[in-house]
Amino acid sequence: MMHNITIAIDGYSSTGKSTVAKRLAKALGYVYVDSGAMYRAVTFYAMQKGLISKTYFHEQQLIEHLDAININFKFNKDLGFAEVYLNGENIEKHIRTLDVSQFVSQVATVSEVREQLVLQQQHFGKHKGVVMDGRDIGTVVFPDAELKLFMTASAEKRAQRRYDELIERGDEVSFEDVLKNVQTRDHIDSTREDSPLTMAEDAIKVDNSNLNLDEQFEFIYTLAKAKIAEYNQ
Ligand code: DC
């Protein structure tokens, strides 16, 4: 029997982590978990309850609400990936907006939020056979992951990709706002006190500024196959 490994994919926002992670999970028959979707779900909850806005963030109240926040993933066969549910409601379409993106980094600085989500992420990965993407997967969630990747690309490239996605969905956004959001999130994500975005010592850096999706996938898939073979020796 082949033993499964754990694959951690970290990196800056909009580096295409989720696209490659989903494809990799599918090719390997592994489960894909989007940890960013969980931080986004908590953020969406906070927005709905009026706990966060452009001018305030009731952090303590959000902490008190944490027990009432139930996040789950359900596989959608048509889409080929698992959608995120908040207290039983499919919120997949509500969590990728620029509004949620603008607040999520702040919510992700709260240690109590991180603690709760990390425990749940570890639970999802307890049988291995998981590809998880995020900011602290290789450093905090699965420090023993057999394969760790760290994805980077220039801020302009990343903003362009995110902008194209949002326009495609029909959102009215300006490139400048998207670029500003990418840069602000980079800054908050890498300077926060609790679990800042850093590359694990044993991670492999993948700069995809000049790689297309297929090239990137082939590179990572080859690494994964090699690790799995090594693990099963
Ligand atoms: O990957 P994403 O853009 O959907 O993530 C949204 C935000 O959530 C990101 O700005 C930082 C936070 N995040 C985190 O702090 N730790 C993770 N493991 C995943 C995401």
Q: How far is the CA of 178 from the centre of ligand 1 (A)?
A: 16
State the average pLDDT over residues 125-140: 96
* Predicted confidence (pLDDT) at residue 136 exceeds the cutoff of 90: yes
pLDDT, tens digit (0-9, with 9 covering 90-100), for 69-109: 999 999 998 988 889 999 999 999 999 988 999 999 999 99
DSSP 137: I
Distance (angstroms) between ligand 1 centre and the Cα of 11 equals 9
Which tens digit of pLDDT belongs to each residue from 11-52?
998 898 999 999 999 999 999 999 999 999 999 999 999 999
Supply the DSSP symbol for 141.
Answer: I
**Around Cβ 61, how many Cβ atoms within 10 Å?**
13
Average pLDDT over residues 192-207: 93
pLDDT of residue 183: 93
Other beta carbons less than 10 A from residue 46's beta carbon: 26
- Ligand 1 closest atom vs CA 121: 18
| Sequence-ordered list of residues with C-beta below 8 angstroms from that of 133, at least 6 positions apart, any chain | 8, 9, 10, 11, 17, 18, 21, 32, 33, 34, 35, 36
Residues 149, 203: contact at Cβ < 8 Å? yes
Cα 96 to averaged position of ligand 1 atoms, centre (Å): 11
**What spacing in Å lies between the alpha carbon of 40 and ligand 1's midpoint?**
7
* CATH no., domain 6-224: 3.40.50.300
Distance between CA 160 and CA 203 in Å, rounded? 26
State pLDDT tens for residues 138-184: 999 999 999 999 999 999 999 999 999 899 989 999 999 999 999 99
Distance 135 CA to ligand 1 centre (A): 6
Ligand 1 environment, Cβ below 6 A: 13, 35-36, 39-40, 104-105, 108, 134-137, 185, 189
| pTM of model > 0.85 | yes
Give the pLDDT confidence of 215-227 residue by residue, as tens digits: 999 999 999 999 9
Beta strands in 102-213 (DSSP E): 130-134, 147-152, 204-207
User: What pLDDT score does 79 carry?
Assistant: 85
pLDDT score for 152: 93
CB 117 within 8 A of CB 38: yes
- Provide the angle, in degrees to the nearest 10, between the axes of the packed helices 175-191 and 98-107: 10
Distance 21 CA to ligand 1 centre (A): 14
- Are 175 and 160 in contact, with CB atoms under 8 Å apart? yes
Confidence at 1, pLDDT banded by 50, 70, 90:
confident
Record the tokens describing residue 38, joined without a space.
């969980």
Hey, whose CA ends up nearest to atom 15 of ligand 1?
108
Please tell me the distance between residue 193's alpha carbon and the centre of ligand 1 in angstroms: 15
pLDDT on residue 98: 87
Strands 81-86 and 204-207: unpaired
Atom of ligand 1 nearest to the CA of 13: 3
Report pLDDT for 81: 85
Question: How far apart are the C-alpha atoms of 13 and 189, rounded to whole Å?
Answer: 9
Among 97, 104, 118, the mutation site with the greatest number of ligand 1 atoms within 8 A of its Cβ is 104
Q: Tell me what pLDDT residue 13 has.
A: 84
The letter for the amino acid at 193 is E
Dihedral sign computed on CA atoms, order 43, 69, 140, 14:
negative
Residue nearest to atom 3 of ligand 1 (CA): 13
Query: Whose structure tokens read 């789950």?
Result: 72
